[in-house]
Amino acid sequence: MESNEEIRRLVNAIALKNASEHSGSTNVNTVLSRILSLKPELKNELKTLIEEIRIIVDSVNKLDLEQQKKYINEIYSVNINIDSKSRHENIDSHTLPELQLTGTEVVTRFPPEPNGYPHIGHAKAVVIDEEYARMYNGKLILRFDDTNPMNEKLEYYEVIKSDLEWLGVKPDIIKNTSDDILMLHEYGKNLTRNGDAYICTCGIDNIHKFRMEQIECPCRRNIDNSESNLERLDKIFGGAYHQNEAIIRFKGNMQDKNTVMRDPTLFRIIEVPHPLLGDKIQLWPTYDFAAPVEDSLDGVSHALRTKEYELRNFLYQSILDKLHLRKPIVVEFSRLEFDNMPVSKRKIKQLLEDGLISGWDDPRLLTLSAMRRRGFDPKAIRKFVLSLGLTLAETKPPFKALESMNRKIIDPHAIRLFFVKDPIKLIVDDGKNIKVTLSNHPTNDLGKREVEVSTVFYISRDDAMLLAEEEEVRLMELYNIKIKNIDLENKRVITASYFNNDIVREMKKIQWVSDKSVTKYSILVPKDLYLNDKFNPNSLEIVEGYAESSVLQLKSRIPIQFIRFGFCISEEKKSAIFIHR
């Protein structure tokens, strides 16, 4: 922690800068929020801080604008970074409310099931988990909740790990629920021996029926059974039953309005090999049982879960009560969803099965691997999910917000090039054979390129349609021409002549590609996967056109801004994926 003197200097700098930007006057609130976004730890001494700020703000407001500016110049030579950029980078964690602390270390966990590729919804969950762990100098556990071998694959454990790494998430501990399977079995046995759980052999249909009718089944009442629950317990652990023949159920309350509490399943038999344990284990705990026990044993202080588990929270607590295990604090947040884009492994799997998408990294998807392929920067994803905060309201945030965060990040290093969609020939009949040097970026030094031009150019059909004879237009970064003749029907050609080279603000500017340095190029443009809740067959457009041939020299995965078309990422020599406008 900095000394008070340093804090005072920083407050002074912020106050001066803000005042100088607002006709010489600033106020306590603005300065307070800026200093807190830079130094969140100061929240602990808010009272003294506000006092300090008040004194400094008063003295700054007494200065005139000139004096303020003079002081700022002096301060800036000591290089205190208070501009808007650094504020933004620090703003992230402040969208999260404080946790209720219990005196123990803050430990959070992200518990994915390795049954598919992680998506942006998982990113939201894990980034919140990680952010809290960091905020309180605690720990983040990545725990694979792998207790349903029916759906789980080794591949998915690996993908989840590497996608989280790409996202910049660094778990302090990585483990699997299946590591603890014998311990989970023991807790299951204890629960049954204590009479808080029982073996049920009624079969799926009856169980469902009794649940709806709020009737306790014969197994629970332990009547009509030739064997006791304890005998059955030995049998189920001894492998005497097959899949669907018996389950272990929690003794809840069949009268409960919350159907989750009507004797939910704790263990079931799954006769499919587990990706890590093979067929050694066939009695697997459900998420309802494994999650609370694991959270408790792992030392999780705050279990963050999406709101859809709301009805299961009471069960979570009841199981821990019966087992006399420590109870973590459950914190809920809303599931991230978007209009017309599936954020659920189940829906994505369905699309894959139906052959409607090319893979988990199909650029229309919001899986992390698709987003990486499509050129999203992981920093933009983090920033976006944190900007949503910890609301409980079912939010469907605008995807555009994420795009704009990404644009800010990639813009400084995306090289500018020309691409024309659906090309139309443009002949400038008195055009000269010349070489022009164009900058790869308007403000940053990303190099230059030389482009040879002659009399023949290509422009996009969209632009061509809007031209009129006698109109003067500028070929961007080249010169102005005057349109003579437009024949889009027969010859698909426009003729023009050189006009002049004056920069005229209002003049229409269009991008072009020279016949001397041109290549065919295609851009994959992903769109919404669903239209009115149905798969959108036009969700992947392939835009064909011509690009400057210098695009061929680019390696793959380079961000490009095709001027007036949008940001793209090169995939292969002659193709790219559209990221956003």
Residue 292 partner contact from ligand ATP, Mg ion, none using kind-dependent CB cut-offs of 5 to 8 Å: none
Query: Coil, helix or strand for 247?
Result: strand
Please state the closest distance from residue 257 (CB atom) to Mg ion, in A: 24
User: Rounded distance, CA 249 to CA 247, Å?
Assistant: 6
CB nearer to ligand ATP: give 193 or 396: 396
Residue 121 partner contact from Mg ion, ligand ATP, none using kind-dependent CB cut-offs of 5 to 8 Å: ligand ATP
CB nearer to ligand ATP: give 16 or 164: 164
Q: Which of 267, 269, 192, 265 is nearest to 232 (CA)?
A: 192
The token duo for 237 is 């652990």
DSSP string for residues in 8-63: HHHHHHHHHHHHHHTTT---HHHHHHHHHHH-GGGGGGHHHHHHHHHHHHHHHHHS
Residue 60 partner contact from Mg ion, ligand ATP, none using kind-dependent CB cut-offs of 5 to 8 Å: none
Query: Coil, helix or strand for 545?
Result: strand
If one counts every other C-beta atom within 10 angstroms of the C-beta of residue 272, the result is 14
User: Rounded distance, CA 63 to CA 295, Å?
Assistant: 57
CB nearer to ligand ATP: give 300 or 451: 300
Residue 344 partner contact from Mg ion, ligand ATP, none using kind-dependent CB cut-offs of 5 to 8 Å: ligand ATP
User: Rounded distance, CA 350 to CA 352, Å?
Assistant: 5
Please state the closest distance from residue 468 (CB atom) to Mg ion, in A: 59
Please state the closest distance from residue 165 (CB atom) to ligand ATP, in A: 17
DSSP string for residues in 171-228: -SEEEEGGGGHHHHHHHHHHHHHTTSEEEE-S-HHHHHHHHHHT---HHHHT-S-SS-
Please state the closest distance from residue 391 (CB atom) to ligand ATP, in A: 11
Instruction: Return the amino acid letter for 544.
Output: E
Please state the closest distance from residue 62 (CB atom) to ligand ATP, in A: 50
CB nearer to Mg ion: give 17 or 109: 109
Residue 124 partner contact from Mg ion, ligand ATP, none using kind-dependent CB cut-offs of 5 to 8 Å: ligand ATP
CB nearer to ligand ATP: give 312 or 449: 312
Q: Is the dihedral of CA 490, 491, 496, 497 positive or negative?
A: negative
* HSE, side-chain direction, 13 A CA sphere, residue 445: 0
Residue 474 partner contact from ligand ATP, Mg ion, none using kind-dependent CB cut-offs of 5 to 8 Å: none
Task: Give the footprint of ligand ATP on this chain (CB under 6 A).
Answer: 111-113, 121-122, 124-125, 305-306, 335-336, 343-346
Task: Give the footprint of Mg ion on this chain (CB under 5 A).
Answer: 113
Please state the closest distance from residue 125 (CB atom) to ligand ATP, in A: 4
CB nearer to ligand ATP: give 15 or 336: 336
Please state the closest distance from residue 113 (CB atom) to Mg ion, in A: 5
CB nearer to ligand ATP: give 395 or 522: 395
Please state the closest distance from residue 337 (CB atom) to ligand ATP, in A: 6
Token pair 């799997």: residue: 349
User: Rounded distance, CA 101 to CA 29, Å?
Assistant: 27
Find the residue with minimal CB distance to ligand ATP: 121
Residue 306 partner contact from Mg ion, ligand ATP, none using kind-dependent CB cut-offs of 5 to 8 Å: ligand ATP
Cα 185 to Cα 268, 269, 289, 290, 343, distances in angstroms: 11, 12, 10, 10, 33
CB nearer to Mg ion: give 113 or 256: 113
